[in-house]
Amino acid sequence: MYKHNSPKGLKPFGDFFLIGRLNFSALAAVLILISSCTGKNEKQTTIYNLDSLVQEQIHLLADKKASSKKTVRLGEKESATELTPEDTLVWKRELDIFTELSALNKPINRKEYIIEDGLPDSKSNLTIKSISTTQAGLPVKYLRIYYLPEPYQLKKLEGYTHEKNMLYQSTRFFTLEFEELQNQPTLKSYTVYGGQKMFLRDSVTFSVQATLSIP
């Protein structure tokens, strides 16, 4: 068995004494390197960074003083609104619902998705990147990214979520459409529709349709 000899009088703290003589600068450098690699791997394994996309659109629409015409239907009731948000907080409330689709990026979920890219769209000349799963327990069933000609030239996103538990079940379909302004995809319209069934209550259907314009 390996034994080390600590200086006299320091035997109770021998291990600490030896560790204290390490080059802490080198140790810090190693820790920073490990942290950097971990962050890089985490970024690389993100299926689709929808959170960043939504944040970009929030700031872009606020900066460009975009306005919105929105129609909301809840069951038989319908309301229409027009607004020109003055800051990012309003746009955040408007668009935060789409970050629900980011659940596919959770580490526990990522391996359950099938990713297919370069798929032709039968209804247009766009190319599709499809992210889908058949696992019953995952809320995000699919996300489809439409682009032309390169993935960064985003034209449309479609998503579908379904959640079910002992208290309720909910289904939502999402669509975001983009136009290119100053070489940057800019949200021009979005829709959300679906339904929800609470335990011992009737089903409720809803829809949100919004058209955005930039002066």
Q: Once rounded to an integer, what is the mean pLDDT over residues 45-65?
A: 93
Residue 165, pLDDT score: 82
Q: What percentage of the chain reaches a pLDDT higher than 90?
A: 64
Q: Across residues 180-207, what is the average pLDDT?
A: 91
Angstrom CA distances, 145 to 23, 78, 154, 188, stand at 50, 30, 7, 16
Cβ–Cβ contacts within 10 Å for residue 28, how many?
10
The helix or strand, by DSSP H or E, that contains position 129, with its residue range, turns out to be strand 127-132
What local confidence, expressed as pLDDT, does residue 27 receive? 39
Domain boundaries, the chain: 48-213
Average pLDDT value for residue range 152-162 = 96
> In sequence order, which residues have a C-beta less than 8 Å from that of residue 106 and are 6 or more positions away?
none
What the block records as the tokens of 47 is 């299926």
Q: How confident is the model at residue 110 (pLDDT cuts 50, 70, 90)?
A: confident
**pLDDT mean over 203-208:** 93
Phi, psi of 187 (to 5 degrees): -60, 130
43: pLDDT strictly greater than 90: no
Res 202: pLDDT? 82
Q: How many whole angstroms separate alpha carbon 53 and alpha carbon 78?
A: 29
The lowest-confidence range among 3-17, 165-179, 187-201 is 3-17
Determine how many CB atoms are found less than 10 A away from the CB of residue 52: 11
Average pLDDT over the chain reads: 83
β-bridge mates for residue 178, sequence order = 187
Task: List beta partners, residue 202.
Answer: none
The number of angstroms, rounded, from the C-alpha of 79 to the middle of its chain's C-alpha atoms is 29
The pLDDT value given to residue 23: 47
pTM score, whole prediction? 0.77
CA-wise closest residue to 76 among 189, 214, 203: 203
